[in-house]
Chain A
Amino acid sequence: MTASATDRTVTGRTPKTIRVRYFAMFREHAGTASESLALEADTARDVFLATRHRHGSPEPAGHCKVAINDEMADWDAPVEDGDEVLLFPPVAGG
């Protein structure tokens, strides 16, 4: 417990409450369209990787897209406590 608390202080990472929304294949794999998670995440990519076991996809982030609070974002975009992160598997319009 002490070690864990110390680690968090050292890394500066405290869990953020992130609302994650899953689409298409990701939604089917997660078994839900959205959920709130407490994640130690600095960027959109961190959220993607942290939920990978939930959205169940081997797709690299480069094939997928992400939006934060309904705005398309880069994988390196920072996430804040309370943000909504939308994870988009590879698109296929038309």
Chain B
Amino acid sequence: MARIGVFVCHCGENIAGTVDCPKVVESMMHIPGVVHAVDYKYMCSDPGQRMVRDAIREHKLTGVVVAACSPRMHEPTFRRACAEAGLNPFLCEISNIREHCSWVHEKSEATTQKAIDLVRVMVEKVKRNRELQPISVPVTKTALVLGGGIAGIQAALDIANCGHKVVLVEREPSIGGHMAQLSETFPTLDCSQCIMTPRMVEVAQNENITLYTYSELESLDGFIGNFKAKIRMKARSVDMNLCTGCGSCYQKCPQKKIPSEFNTGLGTRTAIYTPFLQAVPNKPVIDRDNCLYFKKGVCKLCEKVCPTKAIKYDQQDEIVEVDVGAVVVATGYNVLNTGFFPEYGYGKYKDVITGLQFERLASASGPTSGEIRRPSDGKVPETVVFVACSGSRDPAKGLPYCSKVCCMYTAKHAMLYKHKMHEGKAYIFYMDIRAGGKMYEEFVRRAVEEDGVNYVRGRVSRIYEEDGQLVVKGADTLLGGMPLEIKADLVVLATAMVASPGAEELAQKLHVSYDAYKFISEAHPKLRPVETNTAGVFVAGACQAPKDIPETVAQASGAASKVLQLFSKPELMREPVVAVVNRTAPPLFSTCVGCFLCEKACPYQAIGREEIKARDGKVLKVVAKVNAGLCQGCGTCVALCRSKSIDLQGFTNEQIFAEIMAL
């Protein structure tokens, strides 16, 4: 017993100027189910809305079609008006006879006819509309932050400082990420560790933050507001509760020659170690691959020296499960190593290093205590060649993108070098300088003008060793491609920033998409830069794309604010335009056959599986089930499902079919 009301708006002359509104009204009255139709000058005005409300009550309408401007303008207005009159707002539809009709056609019979058709189509749709209720999803107000670089730290602190719990998971034994490795930071040249360390300590001390280092995400299930994360705490072989971080163990460890990851291989560490002195937590782990006890079964020196008996060789990986409402991915980046470059000797020349290695050389806490000495023989280099864009912007190498920070840190490196070696010569080979950023261009200029860094525009074609010296062959394109050969003591390659190892697997665990370079994709490049395509999973820092610290921090705070927005209400309200899998009478229960081809297609991983069980618990059938929390209502699954077992509320098969039949 459909009782539809049609309200045709003149929009002043905007519609009535070309469309014969009374005729539209008249023709509606011939459609079965239409019990009321009127036209009015301005439907969206207060009196117009009142007409709608009054008619709903007076004619006991079961559906409303407002023929007016685009639904983007006034759909909310009229739906609200309906709700006020006691009609479910989803029983109201807008027929767009302004933008799609009166404004784009001349006044004519055909235009009026089109308006009639458009309204009729909506009438047929609305007859099949169902009452829908907004979906509310409860929210667990704990955030999971993956990655303890500056991005993760910033996001964790922002969220924790608003009073919400945070679980911070870091893969390495300490948080800090790359920023902890840097010497000084452009464009201010303040000491990286000086600004980083206090933040790290803040994390350790914040009671809202639970820190899992040396841990990784095992799996993530659930949906926005209601995730279940499993975290694997890798066996540290050290009891975190007993260890006081006194360091006796690593002082005694006989395995002293292990290249230090933190020092990018330029320094060494022991088998039981903390990555660096300011590590948070400042408690060691045993690197089982290099530990004599684990390798050969003998040693146990550390156990002997540990005053608190904290060494636990038999410790196992542990899985902890946490309920979280939102996830921030901040797993950062990696840099290409020199082995990637055949033309620069495949990494076989010790004195060809990466920018990150240079950071360690320049760092006061680094292996050379901040003195710039070349790795091969410890000599202070007299000529240093910096090669920007090593790998980046090189489609041939598969990395067509710009790493964004190299121009800046290369300038920084050259400057740092010059500050320490005033007579030294610094050359920078570059393609062009990208110094967009506050005080960035000035910074580069300073390198050239104050510190006398030689910028050579051109590519380095080859680096080879000759008589114990590196020869850098290139060309200066500003000088018409004049070939250039520089004998250098040290070559620093600004190697490209790439996705951190395991980024792809992680993205898959999180069900978020990633780009061709395995950087996590944002939901919208402009408007939703900190969201991913999975609701409730946000992204910050260099794992999304190469970026510098200020940008990283800004994005991290952005992500945190999105999380906080989500946590600001007890429940999440969503439009009920979601897919549903049908239910039918037994013995079929649902027409879904459980092919789960829709599951794979859903852009939001909103489709899961549900077992239909008999009373005795026997599984009768496994069918698709849409998670209303995750479903965004695109309808891809609906078009895909062969047996039409899944349908989209608000755009059901019946509705669309009826629309076509009304054409």
A and B bind: no
Q: B: which residues have CB within 8 A of A?
A: none
